[in-house]
Chain A
Amino acid sequence: MIERNDLETLYNSELKDKLQGLEGIRKKVKRGQVFGILLLVLTFLLFVPAAALLEGYNEALPFISIAPLAIIGIVILVRTFKNKKIYRNRFKDEVVREIVKAIDPTWEYNHDQCITSSEYRSSDLFRQSVDRYRGDDLISGKIDKTDFRCSELHTEYKTVTTDKDGKRKETWHTIFKGLFFHADFNKEIKGKTYIEPDTAERLFGKFGQSLQMSSKGKLVKLENLEFEKIFAVFGTDQTEARYILTPTIMEALVNIYKKYKRKMHLSFIGSRVYVAISFNKNLFEPKVFSSGVKFKDIEFMYNLFEINQIIIQELNLNTRIWTKE
């Protein structure tokens, strides 16, 4: 396990060289994307003057005259697409894997796998039915007695509308995008307890509390005011919710929230705790248009991977003093 200070050493001694080694292919991908798109735009722009100029000749002539440009553009883009895939895979294998290994060599990292949809469903965090399920960067492992799995995830649903001309329009809506984590919980639970971001109470204060409702169960009011401002708790069993959310755990969740400042959904179901942290951007992806050799990016990834550890430590999941071993 490396500490934050060691991360800089690792960066300077190993990762920087690896990132520099990837700069060649990154620039190639960047050039390819720029040229490919430029050619296609140019083809499009040239079509009108070509058609005007060649008017009166064969009708196919304007198309034939600009076709080579379009073909070259497409070829470049296809090749770039392949290169980008190579670049991405190399980035994940050479850089991301190293960071994971540095945090804990026993953790497993698979960049093309993710939390399964059945795991996602067991969390019962998002009940909207999913039409598109994507994810990558699966990490699984064990910290002391607690096993965990974590990956990036993006789930969406589709709506179809038809306008007055009878044209169908598909729109995709994000249900969840970000990091999805679950780990073995240290207490026996029979019911279901959910923690959701509390928008009503933050906006309207005490009055907002009365607006909080969920199909997931009854609202559970807790004593920690700071916690109550950030989260709303729902559950099938009030006492069990408090059995899980001890004063220490509430404080821990406030700390985690303050560290990442992201929307967080949690659920405690069966023998596991599920945590979904929302992010807007794609995580653990290489940069194309600006230099990839930056310590800041590495640090950001480290912070994200560290979340596995932070949740397990803060929630004291390795404390096994209750009946569950």
Chain B
Amino acid sequence: MSPTIVIIVAAVLLLLIIIGMYNSLIRKRNEVDNAFGGMDVQLKKRYDLIPNLVATVQQYASHEKDLLEKVTQLRAKATDRQMNADEKVELDNQISGAMHGIMVAVENYPDLKASENFLNLQRTLNEVESQISAARRTYNAVITDYNNAIQVFPKSIIAGMMGLKRKEVFVIPETERQNVNVKNLFN
């Protein structure tokens, strides 16, 4: 085999490898966008539930006006304008905290807790919360995969040329990690 052929074969091979790596990186980036989209869908579902929740709780628990107003404001903010991923995540954590506050406050209103409407709402909310948590975990898994891919040699070189940057995983705020402690309610 002449040296020219060897060089051509090697060059073609190298090109194929580079194309393969490039495609796999693109695929990973798209997966991240897709996972974020999936999370966004679930978050929107939760936004849609908020007016309903506020209306139901208001009937029974007029004392919790502050909490309800806060969550309504946050929702308005979330649906009002376009935000980047980090802002969305931050706002969403605030909403989670506020919703959590309402659910804790509800414990003081047995009539509300027993109402059919609220029970249905609670089920739907549990559903959405579980979906959100699953979507967040998917998002984190996909991001970890993506981060690994862009930082490991030799893909890191191509990733650098493509301008791909490390993305942050979703951190669940401390308030959400704690379970409701019934005792604290009486302190």
| Chain A residues close to B by CB (< 8 Å) | 187-188, 220-223, 238-240, 242-243, 246, 321-323
Chain B residues contacting A242 (CB-CB under 8 Å) are 133-135, 137-138, 141
Q: Is the CB of A187 within 8 A of B134?
A: no
Q: Is the CB of B38 within 8 A of A239?
A: yes
Q: Is the CB of B134 within 8 A of A321?
A: no
Chain B positions 96 through 127: 1 when the CB is less than 8 Å from some CB of chain A, otherwise 0: 00000000000000000000000000111011
Whole-angstrom distance between the Cβ of B130 and the nearest chain A Cβ = 6
Whole-angstrom distance between the Cβ of B59 and the nearest chain A Cβ = 22
Chain A residues contacting B130 (CB-CB under 8 Å) are 187, 243, 246, 322
Chain B residues contacting A187 (CB-CB under 8 Å) are 130
Q: With an 8 A cutoff between CB atoms, is B156 at the interface?
A: no
Q: Is the CB of B124 within 8 A of A323?
A: yes
Q: Is the CB of B127 within 8 A of A239?
A: no
Whole-angstrom distance between the Cβ of B34 and the nearest chain A Cβ = 9
Q: Is the CB of B134 within 8 A of A243?
A: yes
> Of all chain A residues, which has the CB nearest B130?
A243
Given contacts A223-B137, A246-B130, 18 further A-B contacts (CB under 8 A): A188-B127, A221-B141, A238-B138, A238-B141, A239-B38, A239-B135, A240-B134, A242-B134, A242-B135, A242-B138, A242-B141, A243-B134, A321-B122, A322-B123, A322-B126, A322-B130, A323-B123, A323-B124
> Of all chain B residues, which has the CB nearest A244?
B134
Whole-angstrom distance between the Cβ of A190 and the nearest chain B Cβ = 12
Chain A residues contacting B142 (CB-CB under 8 Å) are 238
Q: Is the CB of B135 within 8 A of A321?
A: no
Q: With an 8 A cutoff between CB atoms, is B131 at the interface?
A: yes
B129-149 contacts to A, CB under 8 A, are 130-131, 133-135, 137-138, 140-142, 145
> Of all chain A residues, which has the CB nearest B141?
A221
Q: How far is the CA of A322 from the CA of B131 in the complex (A)?
A: 10
Chain A residues contacting B140 (CB-CB under 8 Å) are 223
Whole-angstrom distance between the Cβ of A44 and the nearest chain B Cβ = 66
Q: How far is the CA of A321 from the CA of B130 in the complex (A)?
A: 11
Q: List 24 A-B contacts (CB under 8 A).
A: A187-B130, A188-B127, A221-B141, A222-B141, A223-B137, A223-B141, A238-B35, A238-B138, A238-B141, A238-B142, A239-B38, A239-B135, A239-B138, A242-B134, A242-B135, A242-B137, A242-B138, A242-B141, A243-B130, A243-B134, A246-B130, A322-B123, A323-B123, A323-B127
CB-CB under 8 A for A322 and B134, given A221-B141, A239-B38: no
Chain B positions 141 through 168: 1 when the CB is less than 8 Å from some CB of chain A, otherwise 0: 1100100000000000000000000000
Chain B residues contacting A243 (CB-CB under 8 Å) are 130-131, 134
CB-CB under 8 A for A321 and B123, given A243-B134, A246-B130: yes
Chain B residues contacting A223 (CB-CB under 8 Å) are 137, 140-141
Q: How far is the CA of A239 from the CA of B142 in the complex (A)?
A: 11
Q: How far is the CA of A242 from the CA of B122 in the complex (A)?
A: 21
Q: How far is the CA of A238 from the CA of B126 in the complex (A)?
A: 20
Chain B residues contacting A220 (CB-CB under 8 Å) are 141
Q: How far is the CA of A322 from the CA of B137 in the complex (A)?
A: 19
A222, A223, A238 — most chain B CB neighbours (10 Å): A238
Chain A residues contacting B133 (CB-CB under 8 Å) are 242, 246
Whole-angstrom distance between the Cβ of A246 and the nearest chain B Cβ = 7
Q: Is the CB of A239 within 8 A of B131?
A: yes
Chain B positions 25 through 63: 1 when the CB is less than 8 Å from some CB of chain A, otherwise 0: 000000000010010000000000000000000000000
Chain A residues contacting B122 (CB-CB under 8 Å) are 321
Q: Is the CB of B127 within 8 A of A322?
A: yes
